[in-house]
């Protein structure tokens, strides 16, 4: 049986970066390509009802004892729009607890001062990139885990509950749950496999809203600008400065809310 690690390394080669400026679902065609490969793989395992719906959501059932509650496992296929997920060069390295040089040529490091939890993994092997792309472990690690669990349940002779599998597109752009068919999924209990530390179980969710603010100014030659020019960039800076100074990600923790400026651009 293919290991969860080999499966993961195979999945990260699919470019499934989502795009918040796209109106389609999935937002990018790469997610559909990956989804089709997952359906083929599930069918090859004997998951006969595996399919992709018209919106690119994947569903499948590992049959089990109908007397037991039906369990659902969910993961998302897309990776964050914040960094490229194309041509991911993943490699497995032994980790001794010090900083990791990801890319000698570009001098890119993975530092434990930036990610203190790294140190907890000393003595293990880590899967890293060359620093120029995301790895996409969020959430292809979740998909690799669910697929490997499904495969062992399909081959075991032990009694087990029915497992419902759901893979969604576009979680990273806040649309993952929008077109998920809860009724069709039909699980009594379901878990999202998408997390950080080993053993962590989250039972609350983060809630966010976003705003896109367009500001139009009035442009005129600087020499004739008196009482006429309205500089949209300066207005944007003024707008941002009106938001509470200490309600930012770098100043908040726990349940404290924050405003997060993610992008500002001028034509």
Binding residues for Zn ion, per CB under 5 A? Answer: 138-139, 194
The residue assigned the tokens 């006429």 is 228
The SS3 call for residue 85 is coil
- Reply yes or no on whether 15 is catalytic: no
Catalytic residue (choose from 78, 138, 145, 170): 78
Rounded CA separation 74/71 (Å):
10
Helix residue ranges per DSSP H, the chain: 4-11, 29-45, 137-155, 182-185, 232-241
Residue 159 or 208: the one with the smaller Cβ distance to Zn ion is 208
The SS3 call for residue 110 is strand
Min separation Cβ 158 and Zn ion, Å: 30
Residue 41 or 138: the one with the smaller Cβ distance to Zn ion is 138
Two tokens, residue 6:
């080999």
Rounded CA separation 31/75 (Å):
13
Catalytic residue (choose from 138, 139, 170, 171): 171
DSSP 119: G
Min separation Cβ 137 and Zn ion, Å: 9
CB burial of 147-182 (b: ≥16 within 10 Å; e: otherwise) equals bbbbbebeeeeeeebbbbbbbbbbbbbebbeeebee
Min separation Cβ 190 and Zn ion, Å: 15
Min separation Cβ 38 and Zn ion, Å: 16
DSSP assignment string, 202-254: --S-------------B---GGG-TTT-B-HHHHHHHHHHTS-TT-SGGG--T
Two tokens, residue 233:
């960039």
φ and ψ of 42, to 5 deg: -65, -40
φ and ψ of 40, to 5 deg: -60, -40
Two tokens, residue 261:
């400026």
Residue 138 or 145: the one with the smaller Cβ distance to Zn ion is 138
Two tokens, residue 189:
């209990």
- Reply yes or no on whether 78 is catalytic: yes
Residue 139 or 170: the one with the smaller Cβ distance to Zn ion is 139
| Catalytic positions, written as ranges | 78, 171
């Amino acid at each position: 049986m293919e290991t969860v690690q080999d499966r993961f390394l195979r999945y990260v080669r699919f470019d499934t970066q989502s795009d918040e400026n796209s109106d389609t679902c999935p937002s990018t065609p790469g997610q559909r390509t990956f989804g089709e490969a997952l359906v083929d793989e599930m069918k090859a395992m004997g998951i006969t009802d595996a399919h992709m719906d018209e919106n690119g959501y994947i569903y499948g059932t590992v049959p089990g004892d109908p007397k037991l509650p039906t369990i659902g496992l969910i993961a998302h296929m897309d990776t964050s729009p914040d960094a490229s997920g194309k041509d991911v060069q993943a490699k497995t390295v032994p980790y001794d607890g010090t900083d990791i040089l990801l890319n000698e040529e570009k001098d890119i490091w993975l530092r434990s001062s930036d990610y203190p939890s790294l140190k907890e993994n000393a003595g293990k092997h880590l899967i890293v990139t060359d620093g120029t792309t995301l790895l996409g472990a969020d959430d292809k690690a979740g998909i690799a885990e669910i697929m490997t669990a499904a495969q062992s349940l399909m081959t075991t002779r032990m009694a087990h509950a029915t497992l419902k599998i759901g893979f969604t597109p576009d979680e990273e752009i806040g649309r993952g749950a929008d077109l998920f068919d809860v009724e069709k999924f039909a699980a009594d209990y379901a878990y999202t496999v998408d997390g950080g530390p080993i053993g962590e179980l989250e039972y609350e969710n983060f809630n966010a809203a976003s705003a896109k603010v367009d500001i139009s100014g009035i442009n005129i030659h600087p020499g004739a600008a008196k009482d006429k020019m309205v500089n949209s960039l300066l207005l944007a800076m003024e707008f941002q400065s009106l938001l509470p100074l200490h309600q930012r990600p770098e100043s908040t923790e726990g349940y404290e809310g924050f405003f997060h400026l993610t992008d500002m651009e001028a034509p």
